[in-house]
Structure 1
Amino acid sequence: MSATLPLNLTDQDKATIRSAAYGAVSLISAASGKAHKAATAGSLALGSATGQIGHLLNTKSKDIHLTGKTVADLADQVLPALTSAAAVLEQQNPAEADNFRTTVLVAIEAAAATGRNGSASPVVTDMTRKITTALHAA
């Protein structure tokens, strides 16, 4: 029943959630060495999300602002955003918070699977661990 509770998110909350999800895919893409393939696979996975998170992630928006020239710069933005997004969702609707975490993990798994023979490199595996830790820090 809690899955049907509406989310009462500010515009900033929505921007943080979208930036966190697409930023996680960007981190895996940057770490993968096959950025275009990884970004496409991850974005398709985010586009397949369901529930209120699916609707939020699939809303056309220009509020995703990820800047920086290095993976470290991107991580400095995305990892805290993942924690913040999960915390905001957890406060309002734990089921949608779980949906968000699962959606992001599926997306980064899809992005990571674009590596050689469908396996992730040690760099991608480490980035996946960092993303997972950030998602569960809330």
Structure 2
Amino acid sequence: MSATLALTAQNEATVRSAAYGAVSLISAASDKPHKAAIAGSLALTAATGQIGHVLNAKSKDIHLSGKTIADLADQVLPALTAAATLLDQQSPTEADNFRTTVLVALEAAAATGRNGHPGPVVTEMTRKVTAALHTA
């Protein structure tokens, strides 16, 4: 059994922004951004465990801004590392759940590419997100 997460409202906002931001990065890199965003977001809503509750909470605390993918990446990649680090400290099981959930969402978003395969830009963005998740 995993330990109960004791996340502050700010911690929960970081986790949500990181997860949905990762989907936004993949969507922005995709040749079918709307389909990628929908597929990735649906995958996040299918999350289970305590992370599922955090990701599915009704809130308006996801603040992603910027005019370029680089601006978005400057926010999202550190948030992914911060969220994974925080979760590792509280519950390694939920940290693994978070990483898996985000990676499944990226896979779902990436599968919306031509012939169901991600292009090189999506593949590279997925690599960057994966690295940020595992830097913790």
TM-score normalised by structure 2 residue count = 0.99
Per the alignment, residue 84 of structure 1 pairs with 82
Q: Which amino acid aligns with 2:102?
A: V
Task: Say whether 1:113 aligns with 2:111.
Answer: yes
2:48 to 47, 50, 62: 50
Partner of 2:99: 101
Superposed CA deviations along residues 68-91 of structure 1, whole A, max 9, x for unmatched, are 010000000000000000000000
Q: Name stretches of at least 5 consecutive residues in structure 2 with no aligned partner.
A: none
CA RMSD of aligned residues (A): 0.5
Counterpart in the other structure of 2:26: 28
Q: Percent identity?
A: 77
Q: Give the unaligned 5+ runs of structure 1.
A: none
Q: Give how far 1:33 is off.
A: 2.0
The amino acid that maps onto 1:103 is: T
* Paired residue total: 136
1:62 matched to which residue of 2?
60
TM-score of the two chains, using structure 1 as the length reference: 0.98
